[in-house]
Amino acid sequence: MWMRAAMALAALGGWSLTAQAPEKAGVADRPVVEVEGRIAGVGVARGRGMPFIEVRRGDETLKVRLGSMRYLMEQDFRPKAGSEVKVKGFDLGGEMVAITVETAGKTIRLRDEKGWPLWSGRRRGRGGR
């Protein structure tokens, strides 16, 4: 039903029903930075269910958003408080969205350089997983 309505509106208003995906994710407009420190904590953001780590460096603690819990489990990624960590990601001013995380001799890649999550099926074939 909604498809017929959309097609009728497209015909009347000259809309195009072919949507083009942006070339990069919204976070990709932010600077890419690298930080090193110790994992102060591991948690899951309320409401979104997205896991994160807190990276302590000096007197500062930085929240780093990781990605899909399912993807982290598939990659056997289990960050531990107290472990040294190196993170490359998009700087959101006070927190980060991780591209890669290296800890305990293991590196996990979470997003491509354009910011697209590697666990997202919609980007496969365009630089995704």
Start-to-end CA distance of the chain, whole Å, equals 34
SS3 content of the chain, % helix, strand, coil (to 5): 20, 40, 45
Helices (H) and strands (E) in the chain, counts: 2, 6
Q: Rounded CA gap, 14 and 33, in Å? A: 43
pLDDT tens-digit profile of 15-61? 444 454 557 788 989 999 999 999 999 999 777 678 999 999 999 99
pTM equals 0.75
Question: pLDDT class for 64, splitting at 50, 70, 90?
Answer: very high
**Which helix (H) or strand (E) is 12 found in, with range?**
helix 2-13
